[in-house]
Structure 1
Amino acid sequence: MKFKTMILFLHRWIGLFSGLVVFIVSITGAIYVFEKELFALFHPNLVTVEAQKKGSVLPLSILKANAQQATSQPINIIRVPPTADQEQVYIFESLKRRPKKDIVGVFINKEIIYWDRIFVDPYSGHVLGKIDVETNFFWIVRQVHQFLYLRRDVGSNIVGTSVLLFIITLISGIILWWPKNRKVAVKRLKIDFSAKWKRLNYDLHQVLGFYAFVFAMVIASTGLVWSFKWWETSIYWFMDGKRPDTQIEEPKIQGSPVADSPVSPLDLIWSDVVKKYGTHQGVFISLLQEVSQANVTIYEKGNTWWSASDSYAYDLRSGSVYYKRLQDDKTLGMKWRNSNYDIHVGKIAGRTGMWIAFVTSLICASLPLTGFYIWYGRKFKKKKSHISRRGLN
């Protein structure tokens, strides 16, 4: 068997085997690129407020207390918008996942016990609304994208395997496309929209596949991080020589009781963050009440191509910081891992990168369709020709 014949065989059958999953993952991925923007478009009353000229943002503890009244479950996540976005709301979440050993059923929603997201006006303290994240369209889209809405341990393996096979089809497709000379290359870079459907379909498959190749490889390879631990570990090994220890220890100091201070520990924590960072690109706070710990991540622009962020751990009993990991202290592998999501959806390159990721995802979704039609057309044509010859005999 000739080399290109073998490559064509692999390209064809691997593509057929993984095509349906690749189509689903690509379509949902295209939607999720603009998840934040689309959510704001459909829910403007939840995500924006009129910044009060003379007013100021209320203490974080008051906003949290107001949000707590909207849910029966404890608040454990706080999302603060960038300082430049004075018309964005503060988001409070109550989230509890089921322990892995207790997960039952086939579908992903069995992994979450509850998840409420509450939107609060930071100037008035009014609760603007609440959604059940599990039933939210964009959360469902993400779960279909990552796990086909199946249980994490099942769905991630199916998606990850299909994406790995898709990477193989991309590489084999480039090998099949590669021309013998420049004249042929120029011809293969154009789509003849005046041609008949079969020829047009063939051009759409190979030409769009070529133009999307690099971006599709980046999107696919970064997506594998959420499917396979060995893939993530391999990249860490390549960049750092080992997997770094990112575990944050529980606070060991004995914090002062809340009653001893007129200021809430949460407000002390937030005051320290504001003191350190006059401006930021958003803050994520995870409250671990069971161990009296608050993990705070501050996102910055930074003078780097990476998605920059600094992380701190505070004692929730006293509001004092006892751990930090700054962007400059991170290893290359840690900088990559913190940036992996932004690379995956194109945000690392701003709005332009997001549009590139969106278009690339649509092209990736089209490749299994156009490829299937090429395969089916040739197979059907062969059968038809065979039947015609038998009729003549």
Structure 2
Amino acid sequence: MTFKKIMLFLHRWIGLLSGLVVFIVSITGAIYVFEKELFALFHPSYVTVTAQKGEKILPLSIMKANAQHVTDHPINIIRVPATTDQQQVYIFESLKRRPKKDIVGVFINKEIIYWDRIFVDPYSGKVLGKIDVETNFFWIVRQIHQFLYLRRDVGSTIVGSSVLLFIITLLSGLFLWWPKNRKVAVKRLKINFNAKWKRLNYDLHQVLGFYAFFVAMAIAATGLVWSFKWWETSIYWLMDGKRPNTQIEEPTAPNNTMREASIVSLDLIWSDVVNKHTVHQGIFINLLHEVSQANVTIYHTGNTLWSASDTYAYDLRNGKPYFKRLQNDKTLGMKWRNSNYDIHVGKIAGRTGMWIAFIASLICASLPVTGFCIWYGRKFKKKKMRS
């Protein structure tokens, strides 16, 4: 058996084995690229506000208190929009996951005890809406994309293994496509839309596959980070020579008398954050009440091609910072890891990159379909000829 026949065998049967999962993951991935934009399209009253001239943003503690009134669970996540988005709401979330040892059942929704997302007008303090994230369309799409809506440890293994097989099919497909000369190359870069169905299907498979190859490889490689810890560790090792310590230390001597103190200290923390970054691209605040800790990640443009962010840890009892990890202090591996999601969805290159990722995802979804049609057509043709 020649090397080309081995590649054809691998391309065909590995593609058939992983095709259904690749199709599902690619379709859901294409949808999730524009998750934020689509959510705003379907829920405009939840995410946009109209600010009067000179109207100031309310203290964060007041907005948090108003959000707390509409949920029975403690607020522990705050999402602040970019300073350029003056018409955007502040988002408050109450989220609690079930400990891994207590997870039962096979589906992903068994991992979350509760998850409310509340949208607040930062100028009036009015609660504009609340959703149960577990039943939200885009959250379900994401869980199908990452885990096929199965339990995390089960679904991530299936998805990750299928994506690894997909990478092999991409590489073997490129080998099979590679032309002998320039004349053949020109022919293989064009789709003959006037051809009969079988030829058109073949062109769609090989030509679109070639054009999407590099983007598809980037999407697949970055996606594996969420499926396999060894893959993430390997990239860290290639960039840093080891897996860096990304943990954030806790404040000293935590206590349990801080529910009242956190209300006051939240505004002190916010004042310090605003002084550090008067202009930003969004802020994520994680309130860890059980250890009197608030982790604040501030996203900004920075003079870098990476997705830049600075992280600070505050003591919720007094509002004072005690830990920081700035963008300039991060290792190469840490910069990559913080940018991995933006690379995965094309956001690293702005709106243009997101459209490229969207189109590439649709092409990836089409490859198992056109590939199956090629295989089935040839198999059916052989049977017909024998009869």
1:208 corresponds in structure 2 to: 208
1:80 corresponds in structure 2 to: 80
Question: Is 2:344 the counterpart of 1:344?
Answer: yes
- Cα shift readout 1:187-209 (whole Å, capped 9, x = no counterpart): 00000000000000000000000
1:146 corresponds in structure 2 to: 146
Secondary structure of 1:71's counterpart equals coil
Secondary structure of 1:225's counterpart equals helix
Secondary structure of 2:212's counterpart equals helix
1:34 corresponds in structure 2 to: 34
Is contact 2:261-2:317 (8 Å) kept? no
| Deviation of the 1:219 alpha carbon | 0.2
| Deviation of the 1:308 alpha carbon | 0.1
Which stretch of the first structure deviates more once superposed, 129-138 or 46-55? 46-55
- Between the aligned partners of 2:313 and 2:71, the Cα distance in structure 1 is 26
Secondary structure of 2:130's counterpart equals strand
1:67 corresponds in structure 2 to: 67
Question: Is 2:182 the counterpart of 1:182?
Answer: yes
- Cα shift readout 1:320-362 (whole Å, capped 9, x = no counterpart): 0000000000000000000000000000000000000000000
User: Kindly tell me: are residues 263 and 133 of structure 1, through their superposed partners in 2, closer, same or farther at Cα, counting changes over 3 Å?
Assistant: closer
Q: Which amino acid in the other structure matches residue 100 of structure 1?
A: K
Secondary structure of 2:281's counterpart equals coil
1:160 corresponds in structure 2 to: 160
2:371 corresponds in structure 1 to: 371
Q: Which amino acid in the other structure matches residue 114 of structure 1?
A: Y
- Cα shift readout 1:49-93 (whole Å, capped 9, x = no counterpart): 002212101100010000000100000000000011010000000
Q: Which amino acid in the other structure matches residue 357 of structure 1?
A: A
Q: Which amino acid in the other structure matches residue 375 of structure 1?
A: W
- Between the aligned partners of 1:37 and 1:86, the Cα distance in structure 2 is 16
- Between the aligned partners of 1:263 and 1:95, the Cα distance in structure 2 is 18
User: Kindly tell me: are residues 178 and 249 of structure 1, through their superposed partners in 2, closer, same or farther at Cα, counting changes over 3 Å?
Assistant: same
1:17 corresponds in structure 2 to: 17
Secondary structure of 2:51's counterpart equals coil
User: Kindly tell me: are residues 254 and 364 of structure 1, through their superposed partners in 2, closer, same or farther at Cα, counting changes over 3 Å?
Assistant: closer
- Between the aligned partners of 1:261 and 1:288, the Cα distance in structure 2 is 13
1:294 corresponds in structure 2 to: 294
Secondary structure of 1:303's counterpart equals coil
Question: Is 2:147 the counterpart of 1:130?
Answer: no
User: Kindly tell me: are residues 14 and 365 of structure 1, through their superposed partners in 2, closer, same or farther at Cα, counting changes over 3 Å?
Assistant: same
| Deviation of the 1:261 alpha carbon | 8.6
Is contact 2:313-2:324 (8 Å) kept? yes
Flag as ranges the 4+ runs of structure 1 deviating above 6 A.
257-263
2:114 corresponds in structure 1 to: 114
2:264 corresponds in structure 1 to: 264
Is contact 2:346-2:354 (8 Å) kept? yes
2:355 corresponds in structure 1 to: 355
1:95 corresponds in structure 2 to: 95
1:283 corresponds in structure 2 to: 283
- Cα shift readout 1:356-390 (whole Å, capped 9, x = no counterpart): 00000000000000000000000000000001xxx
- Between the aligned partners of 1:194 and 1:17, the Cα distance in structure 2 is 31
- The TM-score, its normalising length taken from structure 2, stands at 0.98
Is contact 1:258-1:265 (8 Å) kept? no
2:323 corresponds in structure 1 to: 323
Secondary structure of 1:264's counterpart equals helix
- Between the aligned partners of 1:105 and 1:119, the Cα distance in structure 2 is 32
- Between the aligned partners of 1:60 and 1:324, the Cα distance in structure 2 is 21
Is contact 2:61-2:263 (8 Å) kept? no
Q: Which amino acid in the other structure matches residue 56 of structure 2?
A: S
- Between the aligned partners of 2:308 and 2:373, the Cα distance in structure 1 is 44
Secondary structure of 2:134's counterpart equals helix
Q: Which amino acid in the other structure matches residue 211 of structure 2?
A: Y
User: Kindly tell me: are residues 77 and 348 of structure 1, through their superposed partners in 2, closer, same or farther at Cα, counting changes over 3 Å?
Assistant: same
Is contact 1:106-1:150 (8 Å) kept? yes
- Between the aligned partners of 1:260 and 1:104, the Cα distance in structure 2 is 35
- Between the aligned partners of 2:165 and 2:53, the Cα distance in structure 1 is 55
Q: Which amino acid in the other structure matches residue 117 of structure 1?
A: R
Structure 2 unaligned blocks of 5 or more: none
CA RMSD of aligned residues (A): 1.5
Identity %: 82
| Deviation of the 1:132 alpha carbon | 0.1
User: Kindly tell me: are residues 71 and 374 of structure 1, through their superposed partners in 2, closer, same or farther at Cα, counting changes over 3 Å?
Assistant: same
| Deviation of the 1:115 alpha carbon | 0.1
- Cα shift readout 1:223-247 (whole Å, capped 9, x = no counterpart): 0000000000000000000000011
- Between the aligned partners of 2:8 and 2:262, the Cα distance in structure 1 is 72
User: Kindly tell me: are residues 254 and 99 of structure 1, through their superposed partners in 2, closer, same or farther at Cα, counting changes over 3 Å?
Assistant: closer
Which stretch of the first structure deviates more once superposed, 291-300 or 261-270? 261-270
User: Kindly tell me: are residues 183 and 64 of structure 1, through their superposed partners in 2, closer, same or farther at Cα, counting changes over 3 Å?
Assistant: same
- Between the aligned partners of 1:185 and 1:4, the Cα distance in structure 2 is 18
User: Kindly tell me: are residues 46 and 298 of structure 1, through their superposed partners in 2, closer, same or farther at Cα, counting changes over 3 Å?
Assistant: same
User: Kindly tell me: are residues 351 and 248 of structure 1, through their superposed partners in 2, closer, same or farther at Cα, counting changes over 3 Å?
Assistant: same
1:252 corresponds in structure 2 to: 252
Question: Is 2:74 the counterpart of 1:53?
Answer: no
Secondary structure of 2:294's counterpart equals strand
Is contact 1:342-1:348 (8 Å) kept? yes
Q: How many corresponding residue pairs?
A: 386
User: Kindly tell me: are residues 252 and 24 of structure 1, through their superposed partners in 2, closer, same or farther at Cα, counting changes over 3 Å?
Assistant: same
1:171 corresponds in structure 2 to: 171
- Between the aligned partners of 2:259 and 2:179, the Cα distance in structure 1 is 76
